[in-house]
Structure 1
């Protein structure tokens, strides 16, 4: 009988790729999301009846329990990058992960993949990273066999990294480089992250392991800003913005986070920028899962063309 996997948070940027990868691998996929109407299109990624969408508010254990009934494996992608009036890092990143893992363990589910983040640590100065670290801790306590995947910044069509950078470059006369732009990143392609999920779900050899997922190259943030500006043919001078000044600007971003407007920068994100976001030396990664990391040059230009003044076929002067 075909096995069933529940994907929590399957309608998001990463989730859609994960659902597709699992369906292609032959799993029956149950997508548990707060707003099912945002995920109905995912049913087209598999055969008739292979992908099911169910309503699930992860703050309600009764919803989680229904989403877990009769499944063999779980992928947890639920998480937020900034806090709002009704959502906090503690309630979404930590408590929801804890509830999903506890209820899965109560049903005897051993195959559990927790998608976390590079930098996750219970003692991190960033509230986001700390919540991700506590989430990992809670999941491992409930299910010791759980697999933890920690991606660096994720790129791909409709991402929130290069797309937001391009929007800022098009809008601002200069680009602020927080802390001089020296923070290191190791961007990883969303399809590679999805492949890592698909190769660890149900894989007993991966049980209990933590994998840090990064692309083939490490870049300083300022170089990624310059690369983005080059791709959209919109050069902008970089202006050094000290961390102290960025923290002050982040306070205004905190105020925006309680509105429908996505804040360009929060004080917690400033704390995140004070720590490199790259795979730790000696950590298991994509290579250990048999996945060749995809370079940004292979993918990013294909979805940044729309920001060029004359589109895809624009040429440099």
Structure 2
């Protein structure tokens, strides 16, 4: 590990990925500054939470002051108000990278996603690709982390699928269900990000992080259902319907489905095999099936435990 990485700022440090990166770094005795729009409770003696706005250069300058490394884990899944895919994934990412370079930051790590493509017709996918290019042009030597779809007990991916499988009489498939995915546990991604930041050798420009197994979407649903002891009826639904439904859902404050999610389901999000990944970092990504079994076991134990015991 690079002992020069004593202080690190994590933008998006209270988010799904960011808070786990903060934990991994703090557990390795790094002083961590978790920067986000909303202040969160401190987590340990070596974690500092600060308010920072990625659209405000002075706010970024204050957040990176005195740190050795910067991680940008900010992402946007549905546009709202002034927050657009381009303003967050491209403009804000480039702004953070520029301020970090001007501040003399030694290492910069940027979180993106497998499938990012600046030539895509999808605003979300295109902004991810443009953001990567903007960061690497602004901060030479920056490392980009492309992750496959991430899962965890508190996610909106695996838990949503499981909930719908349990409640719907028939589960609607995206298209013909052949889109390929390679789900990865968010903690494995966070550990990899922390390692890329702190490794002594110069990082590669791009890493691809994906789980140990590739599924078609239909295979994934059947695997989740089988593990949970369910036998669902799967119904193929055209993508045109999904796009229309997602457009309506985005009116809600917390949409259960967004158009960018539908767009991602139309392309394969699997590791290419030509980029460095977990193997190079010495990390063995955990199995979705095993993690789901553990999650279901814990849920069952909590359900069966008497209320008096849980609250005592």
Residues 1:169 and 2:143 aligned together? no
Q: Distance in 1 between matches of 2:271 and 2:119?
A: 18
Give CA deviations for 1:79-100 in whole Å, capped at 9, x if unaligned: 1112223421112222111110
Q: Distance in 1 between matches of 2:186 and 2:278?
A: 12
Matched residue, 2:35? 32
In the alignment, is the contact (CA less than 8 A) between 1:126 and 1:268 conserved in 2?
Answer: yes
Q: Distance in 2 between matches of 1:238 and 1:2?
A: 49
In the alignment, is the contact (CA less than 8 A) between 1:110 and 1:143 conserved in 2?
Answer: no
How far did residue 263 of structure 1 move?
3.0
How far did residue 130 of structure 1 move?
1.0
Matched residue, 2:186? 190
- TM-score normalised according to structure 2 size: 0.90
Residues 1:23 and 2:26 aligned together? yes
1:116 is matched with which residue: 101, 107, 112? 112
How far did residue 270 of structure 1 move?
2.2
Q: Distance in 2 between matches of 1:289 and 1:243?
A: 37
In the alignment, is the contact (CA less than 8 A) between 2:8 and 2:67 conserved in 1?
Answer: yes
In the alignment, is the contact (CA less than 8 A) between 1:90 and 1:131 conserved in 2?
Answer: yes
Give CA deviations for 1:272-297 in whole Å, capped at 9, x if unaligned: 21110100132211001111121112
1:274 is matched with which residue: 266, 273, 292? 266
Pair 1:148–1:286, CA change in 2 (3 A): same
Pair 1:59–1:310, CA change in 2 (3 A): closer
Pair 1:310–1:172, CA change in 2 (3 A): farther
Matched residue, 2:254? 261
Residues 1:97 and 2:93 aligned together? yes
**Count of residue correspondences:** 302
2:293 is matched with which residue: 289, 294, 301? 301
How far did residue 26 of structure 1 move?
2.0
User: Does the residue aligned with 1:278 lie in a helix, a strand or coil?
Assistant: coil
Give CA deviations for 1:69-120 in whole Å, capped at 9, x if unaligned: 1110001100111222342111222211111001001111130010110001
Matched residue, 2:123? 127
Q: Distance in 2 between matches of 1:240 and 1:227?
A: 17
Q: Distance in 1 between matches of 2:304 and 2:99?
A: 48
In the alignment, is the contact (CA less than 8 A) between 1:234 and 1:308 conserved in 2?
Answer: no
How far did residue 169 of structure 1 move?
2.1
How far did residue 305 of structure 1 move?
5.0
Q: Distance in 2 between matches of 1:312 and 1:299?
A: 20
Structure 2 unaligned segments of length 5 or more: list them: 306-312
In the alignment, is the contact (CA less than 8 A) between 1:111 and 1:207 conserved in 2?
Answer: no
Matched residue, 1:143? 139
Residues 1:7 and 2:21 aligned together? no
2:246 is matched with which residue: 233, 247, 250? 250
RMSD: 2.2
How far did residue 205 of structure 1 move?
2.2
Structure 1 unaligned segments of length 5 or more: list them: none
- TM-score normalised according to structure 1 size: 0.88
User: Does the residue aligned with 2:219 lie in a helix, a strand or coil?
Assistant: helix
Q: Distance in 1 between matches of 2:149 and 2:202?
A: 23
How far did residue 172 of structure 1 move?
2.3
